[in-house]
Each structure stands twice: as C-alpha cells, then as structure tokens.
Structure 1
Amino acid sequence: MSFRDRVVFDPEAGTYFDGAMRYIFIKPEAVMGIALALPEDQRGAVLAAMAESIHINGGKSAQSYQAAGADDGEALLAVIRETAPQLGWGRWSTTRDKDVLTVTVEGSPFAMGYGAADRPVCTPILGMLRAISPMVLGGPVDVAETTCTAMGAPRCTFVATLRPEKTA
C-alpha cells in the first residue's frame, strides 16, 4: 500500500498520520531557510544537525517499512523509491554494485529551497541514506552527497559505501 493510501488526515485535530508516525506539510524554503537565517559560518552545523535528525527519525520510518515486509535491501529500496516522491522529496533512482549504493534524486526540494550554494545542501536526504544504507548494504556505511543541484549539477547524487571490516 502506498504512502498516500496509508496516510490518514484528521480534520478535527489538524493532523496527518501514517500509523503512529505524524507528518506535516512544510515548504522547502521554510526548512532550508533555517540554515539561511544564520551567518554563513554556522550553516554547516545546522545542515549537519538536519542530517542527524533525519538519520534518527527517518530511520524509525525505515524500520517500520522493514517490519511491514520490506525486510530485504531491495524491497526496502523499492518502498523508499515509491514513498520519496509522495512525500515531495523528489524522484529517487537507486543502483547497487556490491558494497556501494548510489542514489540519484531528481527535483530535490532541499536544493530548491536553499538556492545556489557552494556546497551540497541536501542533508535531509543524506540523513535518510545514513539510516537506510546499513540496512541495504548489511553494515556500517559512509555516505556522501557527490553532486547537488544547488551547486549547478543536473541532479543530486549520493553514494553510500560499506566500510571495510577492521581486522585485529
């Protein structure tokens, strides 16, 4: 069942829920405006905090998708690819090559909401990928946004790489 089919709007309470998870509608420029309202030297910290918050809280959503049957990496990616555009997070494409997961995002609301930048700014997507990539790749990962439309790229690209096991 798609996200739009699962979400329940209660007009009396003014709430949207997908099961126990509450959602809100908010304009991307309002979210990204939090970073833009700060001096330039503080924006990186706010963007990093956004990534960490989504890593934690978006990870709870991913865990609920797993519990609902998306219990292998490809099934989870299919749910994420279906859900992301329904949430307004752009259209996600994924490819996996052994220990590397590459995600391309067309129409990132975060890049659009931030505007022109000299660094990647789609940290909410980065945080979500920090949450789901270990589930897909089977262990700890490093995730980076390698291209960003806020920097003039045609699309945003993220790469998650499984960390090599440390030997004693």
Structure 2
Amino acid sequence: MDKKAFLDKLERNPLPVVVDFWAPWCGPCKMVKPILEKLAKEYAGRVDFWQINADQNPGLLHELGISGIPTLIIYRDGKERSRSVGAKPASALKALFETLASGGDPAPVGISAGERIIRFGAGIVLAGWGWASDINIILLALGGLVMFSAIYDRCPIWRALTSQFKKLTDQN
C-alpha cells in the first residue's frame, strides 16, 4: 500500500483509527498484539484497528517516517493525532482506546522514567566530556540537547511553541 492509498482510506473512515505497524519477528510486537486485538474487539464500531506488516509495506513505513516498531499511530478525520513507538502496558493501551471511543484525542505518550534517567545521564556525560576537553562547544551543545530530550515534554515553553507551530501547519 502506498501513502496516498493509505491516507485516502483514512479520510473515508468516520471512526478514529489506531494503526499498528508491526513485524512477525518483532518481540515487543508479539507482546502487544493480543492486547491490541482484544481491545479492537471490545471497541469495535467505535474505534477501528488496523495492522500493517512492516516487512510487507516498507515503502509506506518510509513515507510515514517510521523507523522503529511497534509503532502505533492514531488518526482522526484522516489526520495523525498521536504516535508512539515501543510496547506499551495494557492499561495505557486500554486508556488510549477509551479516550478515542469517547471522542477525545489521546495525550502524547510520555517517556518512561528509566528512559529519562538514561537520556539525562548520557547528556551529563557528553556535556562533562565537552567541558573536560577544553570546553568543546559541540559536545556541550550535544549534551544539552540530549538532556533536554529527557524533559522536553514537561517544559511549558516547549509545549506552547509546538502547539503554536502545529496550529500554523494545520492551517496551511
């Protein structure tokens, strides 16, 4: 399936759509598949659930900018509303389907505490290395960016800027 056919199919769908990009060899995909299929049955008629095999549709994944699986993309009215990569717990997936079924848009999926710690720690190491090597500005900046990637979703300035940017891009 190419991107145009995929988006055309989405635009014709009156329901919110959860699209799971997966592969048969993917361990995390195998973990969430039964949970997603159960939720798809439970919310049938209120939320559509599509599964797209990454191995059979590499062009579509490339066109949609998907670089890791499992990836869940949430669409409403033919537009992407949310995207998350990696296996999620059953409770988070249930909350996602419930939110969509009740007409709401899902909140962006946050970063786990462990991932925050790893990102922040890696940023400190890079910044420290930049500082120790006669203030290497590139390593200092890279360390700062990696540290920011650990907390960006909690930064009110970042949220305000991205929401304004999204409004501008949606108008065009």
Give the TM-score normalised by structure 2. 0.26
Q: Which has the higher helix share?
A: 2
Which structure would you say has the larger Rg? 2
The structure carrying a bigger strand percent of its residues is: 1
Please give the TM-score of this superposition, normalised by the length of structure 1: 0.26
